Structures are given as C-alpha cells and as structure tokens.
C-alpha cells in the first residue's frame, strides 16, 4: 500500500491480481461497513476451498457458512477453551524438551518446532487424538499439510494456472495437491469412522468412564462434540470439511504468529526480560506446567502478542466479494461484482490510529490501549465472518511462550546484523524470508534442572 493511499482521505487504493481487479482498503469505517454487508469470499480463495476444505466455514458460500458457524460456535466457549489449556501446556512442555538440544548452540529455524506444536495441539483438541494414535498420525498430517499449503500458496497468485480445470488436472501442481489432500482426508475420515463406531457400540457415549460427553468435559474435543450433538445431521463430508478448516486455521496462522513474536523478542531483550519477570511472578521460582488460571495474569505477555500481531498479522489481507451495490458512509459507491481486500497491514500501521511511530514494536500500546477506532486493530479479521478461533489462538500462544520463556532466553541469530529489518514475503500468510532464525540460551532455573 503506497504512502499516498495511506494519507488519502478515504484510504482506498486498487490493484490487479492476475485477471482480478481489487479495491484495497485500510479505512476502518469502510471495513466495518463491508465486513457486515458483504459475506461472500472472492475467487482467489478457491484454491484452498475448491481443493481442500470444500464448504468448510472459512471459504464456504454465505448460505452454508451461516449454518456451519452456528454448529461450531459452542465448541469455542470459554469453558471449553479453558479445558484445552492443559493440552496446550503438555504440548508446550514437549516442545521445550525438543528445543533443549538447540540451546547454547548456533542459529536455527524455529518454524518446524512451532508448527509441530500447533499440529499436536490441533490433533488433540480438534480430533481427540492422544498418546500413540496422535504420534502416528501427526507426522503424516503435518508433512501432507505443509506440502499442500506451500503448493496452494504459490498457486493462489498464479490463477492462470488453475482457472481451466481440465488443463490444471494434468499439471504437477494438481498431482501434489491431490496426493496430500488424500493423505489428510484418509486419516481424518478414519478417525471420524472410528468415533462413529464407538458411539454406536456404547450407546452415544465417548467418554472413557462411560458417561456422556458434555461441553465442559475435560475429555472434550471439537470432533467429539460435533459427533455427539450433530452426528445424526452432519454428514461425514461436512465433518471432514470442518476438521480441515481447523487444521488450516489453527496450524499455519498460529505458527506464523508465534514465530514473529519470537524473533521480535530476540531483537528486543528489554521486552523479553519484562515478560520473563512476569512469568516468574506468576509461576514462582519453579518450572511447572501452565494452567488456565495463570493465563489471565500474564497481561504483559498478552500485550506482546497483540503488538506482534499488529505489526505482522498472520493473514494481512482478507478478501470479500461485493454481491450487491453498496454506498459507503462517505458517499462513495461500490458496484455489485467488485472484489475488495481489507488491508490489515496498512491499517495496523496507519499514523492516524497508531501515532507517529507505527513501525515501532511497543507492547505498551496494549497495556493502557488508546485505540481510537474499534476496527483499527483486527488481526483475526472482523464482522460476522471473523476468525472463530481467535481466543483459542491467544490461549495457545500464551501457554507456549510462557512455557518456553521460563526455560530459555531467545537470542537473535548471529548470522544476521542485529539492526537488519525483517525481510518478509506474502504467500497468503506472512512469512520471514530467513525462515525465523533464532538462538536459544538456557535460563538459570533450566540449568539447575539439567545439572
């Protein structure tokens, strides 16, 4: 987004993306209006919708999305999310254990460690996989998922490669997508059928003690809840689509967010030390698992995450199809058929809402927030089609970072100049060109534990 657009009265620009013309918007008033008026997704997202998630809630047509969203919402109640924190904590401890081998060594990419954490958490909270079943399926799911997303991300910006499906089906990209989609769908369908069989055999009971699962149960998983409450009305395909949405929405986006937060902390040791002292104050002078009662006390850590998401929102550009004529509050007219893009990257850096230093990493912005417009900060999108898993992500990422920072100090990579700006690329999700390089150093308590 050019400086001219950012400084213009209406903060609206335009661009061509392949054969599609976009209005690009970083005006919160306009985004507020269009996100409520226009609920259809544009054609460019079809590469994921058509070939992976189908009519799952992220990419579904509005008429299907409304019904699915209502079915999914209870799964993300605060009570259920609190029950998930134990899963986040155990997965975080396992991640910390794997990272121990990297301590006091050289530069390394933290991406593979964090995406494994995210997939492990999704497998347990979303699918109800535990123990050996999770271990066996997680590696296959993660490998297929990453290969699929990388291919789809490249294709999303080459629409001429897949518009004519009869030609696209003969390409190597189509074979890559099909192969990995089949791996993911076969694993998830097998889990769905296994759980359906258990329900039939046990008289509608999935809990290990024979009781009926409830929304607040510690054995709760999202798939379990959907099967017990809507198993007679949701088809296997509908269940599959929603679980694939969880994988897409809960794995890549969360991993991008925590990776950017980690490298920002490595570049700002004063901020990292403040987070560490807060974690110590909450947890005491011991290393123990995080529980859900700890998380509301980690206010500065939450501010750090929010500021990282302001500067580097995982999905910085959200598209909508204008499916009816719309007149904006300013009087500007947008005709039916226009494609618009909500530019969170530009809006989160607009001086009108973030002051004269919007590029500066400053978590204090969210300690006593003075955000002058409710839509000026929307890392999880906005309106009826916002991200259903925003609270899930925040709890998960706070748990992971608190667990790691209690054990390790995050240092910047020795191979890159400390004052070098981030080099980023946009492939549907933001990514660091250097693949999130850091170093780790053991904290004092961790050193005592390992002696």
Q: Is 253 in contact with 392 (CB distance < 8 Å)?
A: no
Q: Strand 326-327 and strand 408-411: pairing?
A: unpaired
Q: Strand 108-109 and strand 408-411: pairing?
A: unpaired
Q: Looking at 48-57, 129-138, 322-331, which range is the least confident one?
A: 129-138
pTM, entire model: 0.91
3-state secondary structure of 108: strand
Q: Tell me: the pLDDT tens digits for 87-118? A: 999 999 999 999 999 998 999 999 999 999 99
Q: Does domain 3-450 have CATH number 1.10.630.10?
A: yes
Q: Tell me: the pLDDT tens digits for 361-384? A: 999 999 988 888 989 999 999 999
Joined together, the tokens standing for residue 303 give: 């501010």
pLDDT band at 407 (very low <50, low <70, confident <90, very high): very high
Give residues with Cβ within 8 angstroms of 247, minimum separation 6.
Answer: 119, 122, 126, 141, 145, 184
What CA–CA distances, in Å, run from 173 to 18, 149, 177?
18, 11, 6
Residue with tokens 């335009």: 14
Q: Looking at 147-161, 223-237, 256-270, 288-302, which range is the least confident one?
A: 147-161
- Mean of all residue pLDDT scores within the chain: 87
Taking the CB of residue 288, how many other CB atoms lie within 10 A of it? 12
Sequential DSSP letters for 201-216: HHTS--STTSPPP-TT
Q: Strand 20-25 and strand 339-343: pairing?
A: parallel
Report the run of H or E that residue 440 belongs to, with start and end: strand 437-442
- Known binding residue 103? Answer is no
| Percent of the chain surpassing pLDDT 70 | 90
Average pLDDT on 314-321 reads 91
Is the CA virtual torsion 436, 438, 444, 449 positive or negative?
positive
Sequential DSSP letters for 248-315: IIIIIHHHHHHHHHHHHHHH-HHHHHHHHHHHHHHH-SS-----TTTGGG-HHHHHHHHHHHHHS-SS
Question: Domain locations in the chain?
Answer: 3-450
Give residues with Cβ within 8 angstroms of 61, minimum separation 6.
Answer: 40, 55
3-state secondary structure of 340: strand
Rounded CA-CA distance 114/88 in Å is 12
């Amino acid at each position: 987004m050019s400086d001219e657009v950012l400084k213009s009265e209406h903060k609206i620009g335009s661009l061509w993306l392949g054969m599609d013309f976009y209005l690009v918007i970083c005006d919160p008033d306009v985004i507020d209006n269009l996100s409520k008026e226009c609920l259809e997704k544009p054609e460019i997202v079809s590469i994921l919708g058509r070939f992976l998630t189908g009519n799952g809630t992220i990419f579904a047509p509005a008429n299907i999305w409304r019904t699915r969203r209502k079915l999914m919402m209870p799964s993300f109640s605060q009570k259920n999310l609190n029950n998930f924190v134990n899963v986040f904590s155990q997965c975080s401890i396992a991640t910390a254990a794997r990272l121990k081998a990297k301590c006091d060594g050289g530069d390394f990419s933290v991406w593979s460690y964090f995406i494994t954490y995210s997939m492990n958490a999704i497998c347990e909270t979303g699918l109800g996989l535990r123990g050996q079943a999770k271990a066996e399926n997680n590696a296959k799911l993660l490998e297929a998922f990453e290969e699929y997303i990388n291919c789809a991300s490249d294709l999303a910006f080459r629409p001429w490669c897949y518009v004519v499906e009869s030609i696209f089906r003969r390409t190597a990209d189509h074979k890559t997508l099909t192969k990995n989609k089949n791996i993911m769908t076969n694993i998830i369908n097998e889990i769905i059928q296994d759980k359906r069989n258990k329900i039939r055999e046990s008289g509608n009971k999935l809990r290990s003690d024979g009781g009926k699962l409830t929304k607040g149960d510690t054995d709760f998983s999202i798939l379990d809840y959907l099967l017990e409450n809507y198993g007679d009305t949701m088809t296997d395909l509908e269940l599959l689509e929603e679980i694939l949405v969880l994988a897409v929405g809960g794995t890549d986006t969360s991993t991008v967010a925590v990776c950017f937060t980690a490298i920002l902390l490595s570049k700002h040791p004063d901020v990292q030390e403040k987070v560490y002292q807060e974690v110590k104050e909450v947890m005491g002078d011991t290393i123990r698992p995080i529980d859900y009662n700890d998380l509301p006390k980690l206010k500065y850590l939450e501010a750090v995450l929010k500021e990282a998401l302001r500067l580097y929102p995982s999905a910085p550009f959200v598209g909508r199809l204008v499916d009816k004529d719309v007149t904006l509050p300013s009087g500007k007219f947008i005709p039916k058929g226009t494609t618009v893009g909500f530019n969170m990257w530009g809006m989160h850096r607009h001086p009108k809402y973030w002051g004269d230093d919007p590029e500066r990493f400053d978590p204090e912005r969210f300690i006593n927030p003075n955000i002058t417009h409710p839509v000026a900060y929307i890392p999880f999108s906005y309106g009826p089609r916002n991200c259903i898993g925003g609270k899930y992500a925040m709890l998960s990422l706070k748990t992971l970072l608190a667990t790691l920072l209690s054990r390790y100090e995050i240092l910047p990579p020795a191979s890159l100049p400390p004052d070098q700006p981030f080099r980023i690329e946009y492939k549907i999700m933001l990514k660091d060109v250097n693949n999130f390089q850091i170093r780790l150093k053991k904290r004092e308590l961790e050193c005592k534990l390992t002696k």
